Structures are given as structure tokens and as C-alpha cells.
Amino acid sequence: MKHVMLDIDGTLIQSQAFDEKCLVDAIYSVTDLQIDSNWGAYPYVTDRGILKTFINERGLPYTLQELEQAVKPVFVSNIKEAIENNPVKEIEGAAAFVNHLLDSPEYIVSVATGGWGESALLKLQSAGFDTERLVLASSNDHYSRTEIMSVAQSKADASLRLPITYFGDAAWDVKACDELNVNLVIVGSKVSHHQQISSFSPLQRALSFIK
């Protein structure tokens, strides 16, 4: 068997533009402060990691838990409103790709996202994914992407021995997979990588990168 681990935003669904706005607006609503949305400059590009850096850099009078508890419900509400008006679109062929993996005895599947789990499920459901069959690790589990990936691995593969192929889309995915020595496939064109697809169609091309 092989373990396929999946990012969400920009990898399975077209969500990054409105997701970013929902987060920035939620943080402003709670703190009255505008956050720098140059996420590539953050040491931990996850929802929890962004708040952690924001607290440290601005010297805010919050613990990470306190700010997260205040911001998350506003963010989730913003996401709900956004997708009610404009349902989320999948990256071409992504839902069929995930269903193929889930239906096959050859693969186990997990999702490792830097977003919070509540918003991740809302977005995936809006885009037509069967979330009841997905093993999910998220920013609810940790602020570090590598730690989130390790949680996803342990949830999906108790042996921790199956080879992992990770589908992501950004520079932080490249960094995390390098640190964990994980086979990486980049979706889209935000970063260059020796294994890269523009979408999950045709299915066989996406499958061919799984090791």
C-alpha cells in the first residue's frame, strides 16, 4: 500500500483568495489591527502559526489559545458566508482523484492542511468532496506544518511505515516535504518542482507520481 497525503487550499480547491480575506478580516475584527498577509515571510504558514507570529511580533496581550478562540469562530463564520454566496470550486479532476484513491485498496489517504479543521471541512464539502471518508489533520492539531503532516501520518497509518506522496502547491509544502523526506508533487504553478501537475486531469498522470 501507499499513503497519499493531500493539502487543501490551492491543491484540491480554489480557495486561497477568499480564505486569506476571511482570515485577515477576522483578525481585524477581533484585534482592530491589520495583519501582514505576506504569508511566505512567516515561519509557520498555518492558521495557528500565523496567529502565533502575530502575537509575538505585535506584543499582543493574548495567549495563542486566547486569540485562536476569539478569531476562529469569526473566521469560520466568514467562510460560511463566502461559500454561501460563491460555492468553492475544485481544482480540475481533484474530487475524482480523491475518490479513486479512497475506492482503491492500493492507497490510504489523509489530508494535512494548515487551515483549521472546521473551515477545511466546510470548503471541501462545498466543492463536492466526501469528507466523511477523509482522515484530517489541521491547524487544530499544531501550528507547525511538519507536525500536522506527522499527525496525519499517524492517524492514517498506525505502522508509520508506508511511503508517503504529498500533493501540495506552495513553497512551504516544498520546505516541509524536504524536512520530512516525503515524495512531493506540486499542483499548479506557484513554485517550480521536478514533479508538477497543472490539475488532476488526466487521472493517470497524477497517479503516476505516487511512489
pLDDT of residue 189: 96
Edge-to-edge, what's the strand order for the sheet holding 107-112?
135-137, 107-112, 2-6, 164-168, 183-187, 196-197
- pTM for this prediction: 0.96
Strand duo 107-112 + 2-6: pairing:
parallel
Distant-in-sequence, close-in-space partners of 130: CB < 8 Å, separation ≥ 6: 98, 99, 102
Q: What is the mean pLDDT of the chain?
A: 97
Element of type H or E holding 167: strand 164-168
Given a cut of 90, whether residue 148 has pLDDT beyond it is yes
Given a cut of 90, whether residue 16 has pLDDT beyond it is no
pLDDT of residue 88: 97
* Measured distance CA(27)–CA(168) in Å, rounded: 26
pLDDT of residue 17: 85
Q: Give tens-digit pLDDT for 163-186.
A: 999 999 999 999 999 999 999 999
pLDDT of residue 179: 97
Q: How many CB atoms lie within 10 A of CB 184?
A: 21
* Measured distance CA(27)–CA(40) in Å, rounded: 18
What share of the chain in percent tops pLDDT 70?
Answer: 100
How large is the average pLDDT for residues 23-44? 96
